[in-house]
Structure 1
């Protein structure tokens, strides 16, 4: 499926975020072995990244593992951590070939030292790439993100470097994860659920929301293209009226 006519560059979302849901259900529906749904989900990411790169998307952020996912069975957590390490190793040649910056967001304190080292090394080796950014959210929650930002500001107040009354949303926004990237324009959730699951709450304040019944391993570029085309038809008002927006764009 292709988009026709071509999308105007200024209409294309700068930042797409995806909650990759439905791996376990995909595995059960296809009689796969335990954990094989997650393996299929890992393989589904590559064509999505390629589409975003070709379409001029600046940032793609994917939700790989939430803070709440630590409550899952230890065997499943271990598999997900293994798949994350495998993904990093497999993605590095692609990141270097296409000059894609690889980043990670989340609380790394619960991750193993080896995995933290692997993540840091991947970030360092791709930090200068500017074709696009692929961000993997691991051990992440939006509430943790905002609380972590607040803690950093509170520490500055305690040390006398900052006055509490000087803190506003703009300042707080400088301390959340991905503060140096564009805000989320499109937030997609696969798998038929209709919730944000604590994902990029601050960054997605004005995101256009898209939900699909498609399980993540079955999510293909054709469906993403259709969503982007839909996005380009939406009027984003950011609190203003339609008349104000139309006057600005005329």
Structure 2
């Protein structure tokens, strides 16, 4: 049975929000003697499998680290391949997402992308706005530190305009200025390909997330692996700093 055909599994404690750092496309391609673009295409297929698995399992929010703010430093050819792949999926896969009840939300600095991609992204958000089965969040040109800085800047500007008093700023108010405003914090953060770090992903939001690191490269991730990380999560005891009873 393939991962995409794996039946839905009941989990005793289901995370509301799963966030994934999709790592390993390049290594997957290299070990197979394939061009880097083949790894990114296989990674895009893994995204589709994961969205289907999350929907089937009843996860309500899925955030994917699709393109970090640091990815702009990669070779121009790779950046061009990634943006072309993004353009293709925004143009040709959004209708399928909508049919499955998936709402698309995008966070990050979209202004760095070509104008047509910006327009396709906003169109995709609008087309899927009414869907409620799963919210798929794509982090594009996103960096956790930059997110915190822009939130602090917005707070400072609001204080300067007299719209907010400094003593009113608490964690809830600050979170409302982040790019993820209105979203629940991730319960579970998963990273593939053996690396054990957050790499500037949802730094504020992941303060109490459960972290799971997998050795497999992202293109190999399927519904079986998704079930495995849900099982790991269900066995964790989340205390949020409190002592166990």
TM-score strictly above 0.5: yes
2:66 — aligned with what?
64
1:141 — aligned with what?
143
Q: Take 1:19 and 1:214, find their aligned partners in 2: how far apart are those partners? A: 12
**Aligned partners of 2:15 and 2:188 also within 8 Å:** yes
**Aligned partners of 1:141 and 1:200 also within 8 Å:** yes
Q: Take 1:240 and 1:33, find their aligned partners in 2: how far apart are those partners? A: 49
Q: Take 1:100 and 1:84, find their aligned partners in 2: how far apart are those partners? A: 17
Alignment of 1:89 onto 2:80? no
Which residue of 163, 166, 181 maps to 2:165? Answer: 163
What is the aligned length?
Answer: 240
Structure 1 consecutive aligned stretches of length 4 or more whose deviation exceeds 3 Å: 1-4
Q: Take 2:48 and 2:8, find their aligned partners in 1: how far apart are those partners? A: 20
**Aligned partners of 1:57 and 1:132 also within 8 Å:** yes
Q: Take 1:3 and 1:58, find their aligned partners in 2: how far apart are those partners? A: 15
**Aligned partners of 1:3 and 1:229 also within 8 Å:** no
Q: Gaps spanning 5+ residues in structure 1: where?
A: 244-250
2:11 — aligned with what?
7
1:217 — aligned with what?
219
**Aligned partners of 1:173 and 1:179 also within 8 Å:** yes
**Aligned partners of 2:14 and 2:59 also within 8 Å:** yes
Deviations 1:9-40 (A, max 9, x none): xx200000000000011111111124211111
Which residue of 126, 131, 134 maps to 2:133? Answer: 131
TM-score, normalised relative to structure 2: 0.94
Q: Take 1:174 and 1:61, find their aligned partners in 2: how far apart are those partners? A: 18
Cα root mean square deviation, aligned: 1.3
Query: Which sits farther off after the overlay, 65-74 or 158-167?
Result: 158-167
TM-score, normalised relative to structure 1: 0.93
How far is 1:89 from its partner?
2.2
Q: Take 2:173 and 2:96, find their aligned partners in 1: how far apart are those partners? A: 35
Query: Which secondary structure state, in structure 1, belongs to the residue aligned with residue 237 of structure 2?
Result: coil
Q: Take 1:115 and 1:187, find their aligned partners in 2: how far apart are those partners? A: 27
Q: Take 1:176 and 1:215, find their aligned partners in 2: how far apart are those partners? A: 30
Q: Gaps spanning 5+ residues in structure 2: where?
A: 1-5
Deviations 1:64-87 (A, max 9, x none): 110011110111011111111112
2:178 — aligned with what?
176
Q: Take 1:212 and 1:2, find their aligned partners in 2: how far apart are those partners? A: 21
Query: Which secondary structure state, in structure 1, belongs to the residue aligned with residue 138 of structure 2?
Result: strand
How far is 1:187 from its partner?
0.2
Q: Take 1:34 and 1:96, find their aligned partners in 2: how far apart are those partners? A: 30
